Amino acid sequence: MKKVIVLHDFDGKPYFKALEQVADVVYLNTRPFRFMLRDLLKYRKIQRETLNSLLFLFKLPFVRQHTILLGMAPFNIRLLIYSFLCKHNRVLLHTSWHQWQGGVPFEYPEPLRGWLKRAWRNRLPRFANIVAVTEETRRSVSQFLPEITERIVTIPHVVDIDPIDDKAFEDKWQQSPGHFLFTGRLTAAKGVSTWLELAEYAEKNAPELEFHIAGRGEAENQVIDYQQRHANLNFHGFISDREQLKSLMARSHFLLLPSRKINGWEELFGLVVIEAMSQGCVVVASDHIGPREIITDEEDGLLYREEEFAVKARQLIADLNLNQLEHAQRAEKGLATSRRYSMKVIANMWSSLINKF
């Protein structure tokens, strides 16, 4: 298989599992000094990937004839370093950012922001391709630099867990739909407070319902405090085991994602959305760019405007048993939608792209 070097701002492994099916993927990060400090503080030794990333940075002028996938947020100053790889390699930029015409997603001084935008406009034509996670991202990059439009391709994220089987789906939805789930970062932007308010509403009005939450983040103490005071909440902490996460989703009927737009951020292409759909959950999400591209409202999921999310979700809970068949049909359609993001489908997209070089 062709070797592909993935250079990522963070940990690229969750995002390129489909690429791993068709290429020999080597993961490195673009911030080796920061990761080295993290390793020393957390592990008391430098991890191998961090060391390899540091060595790669020093060898950068001599890297030749490789296929490299650069996962870097737009207008980052580090592009001035890593774009030199374009001279002797086939370099692709991977992005999910949807506001290329808008503000810079970094706290740089204002004069530097404009300069970095100009620098990125100058460097982007050197890339062999731009890989956008969503169609909205593809359109935004195209508007930012129309002359590279033909080199922009859309490859979404992949569902890397097996879908729920027919019998398990049927058994789940023959029961009264009583399991609600949240999994992801426990932050204000993810709407954790709204989710807990809905759990509290359910405890008072439908105490038989169970609310399950998994993840970690700044709101973790808030979740733990709620759990100690309310019997209907089950906090699972951070789940790293994929089979355990699959099992939790397969037992759940609804995934509630009341995300909120904060400081220019909104929910993009969330892996959790397609993962939950693959396990027969009805995904109820804020009407943000990412969920909106995956979900057809009232067909294979539900999209609520932020300001209406709590009210509509409370109504969903109140009318739960009245609409059980409708919810089951919606979950079945969501399961069908998730197959568009299966390992085979997305791996074929990556194969078509990298094997043309």
pLDDT band at 206 (very low <50, low <70, confident <90, very high): very high
pLDDT for residue 110 is more than 80:
no
> What is the average pLDDT value for the chain, to the nearest integer?
93
Nearest residue to 287 (alpha-carbon basis) of 312, 311, 309, 315: 309
As given in the structure block, the two tokens for residue 247 are 């099992």
For 247-281, the DSSP string reads HHHHH-SEEEE----BTTB---S-HHHHHHHHTTP
pLDDT (mean) for 329-355: 96
Rg value, the chain, Cα: 22
pLDDT (mean) for 258-264: 86
pLDDT (tens digit per residue) in 213-222: 999 999 999 9
Nearest residue to 84 (alpha-carbon basis) of 66, 101, 104, 109: 66
Going through the chain in order, the beta strands assigned E by DSSP cover: 2-8, 23-29, 67-71, 90-95, 129-132, 152-154, 179-185, 210-216, 233-235, 254-257, 282-286, 302-304
pLDDT (tens digit per residue) in 172-194: 999 888 999 999 999 999 999 99
pLDDT band at 104 (very low <50, low <70, confident <90, very high): low
pLDDT band at 103 (very low <50, low <70, confident <90, very high): low
pLDDT (mean) for 101-129: 83
3-state class of 27 per DSSP?
strand
pTM: 0.88
What's the distance, CA 32 to chain centroid? 23
Q: Identical fold at 2-158+342-354 and 166-341? A: yes
The Cβ of residue 109 has, within 10 Å, a number of other Cβ atoms equal to 7
pLDDT (mean) for 18-27: 96
As given in the structure block, the two tokens for residue 53 are 């990333």
pLDDT for residue 259 is more than 90:
yes
pLDDT for residue 105 is more than 70:
no
Q: Do the beta carbons of residue 91 and residue 127 sit within 8 Å?
A: yes
3-state class of 138 per DSSP?
helix
3-state class of 134 per DSSP?
coil
pLDDT for residue 107 is more than 70:
no
What is the per-residue pLDDT for 268?
A: 84
117 vs 202, higher pLDDT: 202
As given in the structure block, the two tokens for residue 18 are 């489909």
pLDDT for residue 167 is more than 90:
yes
What is the per-residue pLDDT for 277?
A: 98
What is the per-residue pLDDT for 158?
A: 94
- What is the domain class of 166-341 according to CATH? alpha beta
Looking at domain 2-158+342-354, which of 3.55.50, 1.20.120, 3.30.43, 3.40.50 is its CATH number? Answer: 3.40.50
Q: Do the beta carbons of residue 343 and residue 15 sit within 8 Å?
A: no
- How far is it, in rounded angstroms, from Cα 332 to Cα 328? 6
Q: Do the beta carbons of residue 60 and residue 81 sit within 8 Å?
A: yes
What is the per-residue pLDDT for 356?
A: 83
Nearest residue to 254 (alpha-carbon basis) of 355, 344, 306, 330: 330
pLDDT band at 22 (very low <50, low <70, confident <90, very high): very high
Domain assignments of the chain as residue spans, ordered by start:
2-158+342-354, 166-341
* ∠ CA 138-144-148, rounded to 5°: 65
